[in-house]
Amino acid sequence: MLEVTPLARATSLVRLMPLDETPFDFRPGQYASLAFPGQPPRDYSLAGMPGESHLDFHIRQVGETGPSAYAQAALHAGDPVRLEGPFGQAYWRENHDGPMLLIGGGTGLAPMIAIVETALAAGVETPVHLYAGFQDEPDVYYEDRLHALEARHGNLSVTYVLSAPEEATDRRTGFVHLAVAEDHADFAGFKAYLAGAPVMVEAAVSMLVARGLKPADIHADPFYGASDPAAVRRA
């Protein structure tokens, strides 16, 4: 393990280095299972581009115990972390030549960053619309990084949305999928990638299908909490 760096309220960047320094083969948008010392394995989305020497994960603490809390409070450089994967089907489809829509709720931004940065580095010139949904201002992260990317690529638009700001704000507010709906009337020909809380993903999928997007063109990765019997996912 290389480092743990705070990103926002209760959210940190965890950067890993494979012991043999061999790049970990994955597709942007996928996730991996991490096991921290003394903790059960947990799934987290990869936030970097394939081929890099390190692996980035955005981990948000939920509760006082468990792997995500451990990563925030007790994980240190040099600690061993067991990694398995990659997993997931919500990865970038590079053969698609139409517009791209990406919606990341909270740390669901991690796989969206992986997709956007990889696609732009590969020379994608079609419109790329990225929406990042957070609860409040202290939760926002990577804004400077994404707006710098937006300035270099005219086909990229980045929108941050706050669902429950405690103070007055100049940002877009409300549910992130509704901000998407305000900006786009028709999604025919799009590819959509979504990651975040199941309630957000489900609402966004319903809206997209109602506005012309084929279900086969929606690639979604809901994050489930440890108490959910269906799965254990939390980026």
Nearest C-alpha neighbor of 1 from the set 121, 111, 81, 104: 81
Contact 165, 72 (CB under 8 A): no
Quote the pLDDT of residue 231.
Answer: 42
Nearest C-alpha neighbor of 180 from the set 104, 120, 122: 104
Quote the pLDDT of residue 16.
Answer: 95
Quote the pLDDT of residue 130.
Answer: 98
H helix and E strand count, the chain: 5, 12
| Number of other residues whose CB lies within 10 A of the CB of residue 85 | 17
Quote the pLDDT of residue 101.
Answer: 98
Q: pLDDT below 50 — which residues of the chain?
A: 226-235
Whole-number Å distance between alpha carbons of 102 and 118:
13
Quote the pLDDT of residue 228.
Answer: 43
HSE of 170, CA atoms in CB hemisphere, 13 A: 0
Quote the pLDDT of residue 225.
Answer: 53
Quote the pLDDT of residue 152.
Answer: 97
Helix, strand or coil, per DSSP, at residue 119: helix
Whole-model pTM: value is 0.92
- How do residues 30-73 score in pLDDT, each as one tens digit? 999 999 999 999 999 999 999 998 999 999 988 778 999 999 88
Quote the pLDDT of residue 221.
Answer: 82
Quote the pLDDT of residue 134.
Answer: 97
Torsion of CA 109, 115, 118, 119, to 10 degrees: -130
DSSP E strand stretches across the chain: 3-8, 11-16, 31-35, 42-45, 55-60, 82-87, 100-105, 128-134, 156-162, 172-173, 191-196, 218-222
Quote the pLDDT of residue 224.
Answer: 58
**Look-up of token digits 């993903």:** 201
Long-range pairs of 140-149 with CB within 8 A, sequence gap ≥ 24: 140/8, 141/7, 141/8, 141/11, 141/58, 141/109, 142/7, 142/109, 142/113, 146/113, 146/116, 149/116, 149/117, 149/120
Radius of gyration of the chain (CA): 17
